[in-house]
A and B are shown apart, each in its own frame.
Chain A
């Protein structure tokens, strides 16, 4: 049974760096073809894809946010970390992590964590 859970601060100040952790179970990020993605959703708005890390440590980032994002993995503790620098109120959103399997898409999602950016 695949599960994922996001954790991190509920509130960050403008210009700060956000660090989110995705802790997962039921799969290994060492298995060929597997990845973990991050997606966010501002309140009342559409989904926005952020980043993806593959089993072989290959990484993909949203072209519009690439300069602010860093995704890393720690296979030994089944975690993926997303860092986003220079946070702004427009970055207020629910942040989701998701499992990418052999089908190539996000087929299992975490419950999401709401991050508010405010001074």
Chain B
């Protein structure tokens, strides 16, 4: 199994901050990495696929980068609607999620 490790587990930030979340894979996954946003009581929402491709309808303040084993999700200017939990997921032959990063209000 490919293990996915996200950091930090919790992040306190203010509206307007630049926020970066890191995801590391236990072995190379090329660019087969997605990012999801989840709000309490709701299903996850796809933000980024193939490491850096923005899903249709997702604001451009969200961006992804990386390849191989190290990936980042960046929110360029945090908005009130962005306080949520974020998950990375590798989607090679099988799929694995990271443990999540909760972005909370500072």
Do A109 and B44 have beta carbons less than 8 Å apart?
yes
- A20 to chain B minimum Cβ distance, whole angstroms, is 15
Name which residue of chain B comes closest to A48, CB basis. Answer: B97
Question: Which chain A residues (59-75) contact chain B, with CB distance < 8 Å?
Answer: 60, 62-64
CA distance in complex: A64, B91 (Å): 16
Do B99 and A46 have beta carbons less than 8 Å apart?
yes
Question: Which chain B residues (46-60) contact chain A, with CB distance < 8 Å?
Answer: 46, 49-50, 53, 55
Which residue of B46, B99, B100 is within 8 Å of A106 (Cβ)?
B46
B23 at the A interface (CB under 8 A): no
In the bound complex, residues from chain A placing their C-beta under 8 Å from that of B46 are: 105-107
Which residue of B43, B53, B87, B99 is within 8 Å of A96 (Cβ)?
B43
Number of interface residues of B (CB under 8 A): 24
Do B87 and A46 have beta carbons less than 8 Å apart?
yes
- A36 to chain B minimum Cβ distance, whole angstroms, is 13
Which residue of A47, A64, A104 is within 8 Å of B1 (Cβ)?
A64
Which residue of A47, A63, A103 is within 8 Å of B97 (Cβ)?
A47
| Interface size, A (range) | 20 to 34
Do B94 and A63 have beta carbons less than 8 Å apart?
yes
- B8 to chain A minimum Cβ distance, whole angstroms, is 14
In the bound complex, residues from chain A placing their C-beta under 8 Å from that of B1 are: 63-64
In the bound complex, residues from chain B placing their C-beta under 8 Å from that of A98 are: 43
Residues of B whose CB lies within 8 Å of any CB of A are 1, 32, 34, 36, 38, 43-46, 49-50, 53, 55, 87, 89, 91, 93-100
20 contacts between A and B (CB under 8 A): A39-B97, A46-B98, A47-B44, A49-B89, A52-B95, A60-B94, A60-B95, A63-B1, A63-B94, A96-B44, A103-B50, A103-B53, A103-B55, A104-B91, A105-B49, A105-B91, A106-B44, A107-B49, A109-B44, A112-B43
